[in-house]
Amino acid sequence: MLSLGAVARHTTNGPRIAMLRSRTRHIQTSTVTDSDIARLAAKPLHPLTLADLCSHGHPPLSSEDLLSSANFTLGILPSRLAYRIQCLRSLPYIVVANPNVSKIHGNYVHSLSTLLPLAERRIETLEQEVDFTEVMADLVQTHNNTISTLARGFIEARKYISAEEVTAFLDEHLRFRIGTRLIAEQHIALHFSSQPQNEKEEIREAESSYIGVIDTELKPASIIRTCENTVGEICELKYGVRPTVNIVGSPETTIAHIPMHLEYILTELLKNSFRATIEAGMEQEPIEVTIAPAPASADQTAAMKSKRRAGENAAGGISSRDQGLNPDASYGSVIRALEQNTPGVTIRIRDRGGGVSPDNLPQLWNYGFTTFNEDEINDKTGSGGGALDLLSAGAGGGSTLAGLGYGLPLARAYAEYFGGGIALQSLHGWGTDVYLSLRGVGKI
């Protein structure tokens, strides 16, 4: 997910973010009791759309709109954190006792303790909003390595919990985490982009295509080139060669989406294509990336998903299940759909890397499935990590996930969170086509 540094790159407020981070040592906390957790977790949880995150307007926001964003964020997060604490506690005790899993539980309790002093009142002044933004900065930092830490914890505890149980838990938990962090990051970005230092900066912010962390004019072709360079450099370091990427179709296409999410997805997909291509000795064959703009209607979006998920609405709504929310809870199984004609895009990545073995194909979407052997897994759960581990930094959580079997299912979670999807077609012995579909925000 976005770090504070990443937010800074989009808001031209890097020095002020650094100052905010240095002040988080003085955040007030309250003791979190079991009754607090039960009370907050019982509240209805609010699923998200990208439109929700844009609802406060284009920066720079007025004071009224900035306070509205703060209260919207404060109204959502405590219940979400309490709900995840309950879910972690529902795991077998021996799994929760694992140091890595226990650390994540403690991080959630800490973040809830920083929100409790604020949760019973509205934020009514800009001074209170600044204090709240400090809490959001602390939350983002606290959960920065959640995914890699959980990955190590579940691998270490794999004797005590089945692969199916791990996949079910992580599928919910990591989707839930996407929304929780995104809510916090969005307010941090809106906070800084709404406090211009002078009139010049105000004009520059007003002309920006960003609304918080959402780029309303995101150009997938630019993200593809960035990811190509990152993956290519590391492939040269590891293998001594790098394939080329040809972008065809409509490279000028733009949509409204979250750059860091798309960057993580494309890095993971290109990493797999580069590795397969090189190891098959086909690095002279370019990887072809086709960008195809599409209206992305509900039916098209549903067809792009590799499988239909429990609780999904036939009309194309984004299911609570897809956002890590319990579909049986009282707040309803399906969040409202995006506009039916929301502009979308489909990206196809085609390689000549020999395809996926038929034996491996059914397991590709399971968390923890990997083609690495046991010794390599043990090396990766230790202190060291290879060059390709760097590819997992950024949106996915920051460290040593490469080779642990988390890349593809996590990339699909990011794609599906706002109504997109990833589908894969493999011709064993020849190559693989991967289809990434995205839905944008729609009218802003």
* Mean pLDDT estimate for the chain: 78
pLDDT the model gives residue 360 = 84
What distance lies between CA 78 and its chain's CA centroid?
19
Domain boundaries, the chain: 4-211, 214-439
Mean pLDDT of 282-293: 95
Share of the chain above pLDDT 90, in %: 46
Residues 6+ apart with CB under 8 A from 396: 1, 147, 264, 268, 406, 407, 410
Ranges 101-105, 163-167, 221-225, 374-378: which has the least confidence:
374-378
Most confident among 47-51, 235-239, 340-344 (mean pLDDT): 235-239
Q: Which fold has domain 4-211?
A: Butyryl-CoA Dehydrogenase, subunit A; domain 3 (1.20.140)
**Is pLDDT of 6 > 50?**
no
Three-state SS across 189-250? HHHHHCCCCCHHHHHHHHHCCEECCEEEEECHHHHHHHHHHHHHHHHHHHHCCCCCEEEEEC
Assigned CATH class of 214-439: alpha beta
Give me the pLDDT at residue 14, please. Answer: 43
Q: Which residue would you say has higher pLDDT here, 367 or 184?
A: 184
More confident position, 430 or 5 = 430
Residue 317 pLDDT: 47
Location of structure tokens 């949880």: 45
User: Exposed/middle/buried for 200, CB within 10 Å: 0-12, 13-18, 19+?
Assistant: exposed
Cβ atoms within 10 Å, residue 38? 12
Structure tokens at 273: 């294509």
φ, ψ for residue 323 (rounded to 5)? -105, 10
Left if phi > 0, otherwise alpha if psi is -120 to 50, otherwise beta: which for 224? Answer: alpha
Of residues 207 and 154, which shows the higher confidence score? 154
pLDDT at 134 over 70: yes
**Within a 13 Å sphere around the CA of 375, how many CA atoms are in the beta-carbon half?**
0
Half-sphere exposure of 311 (CA within 13 A, CB side): 18
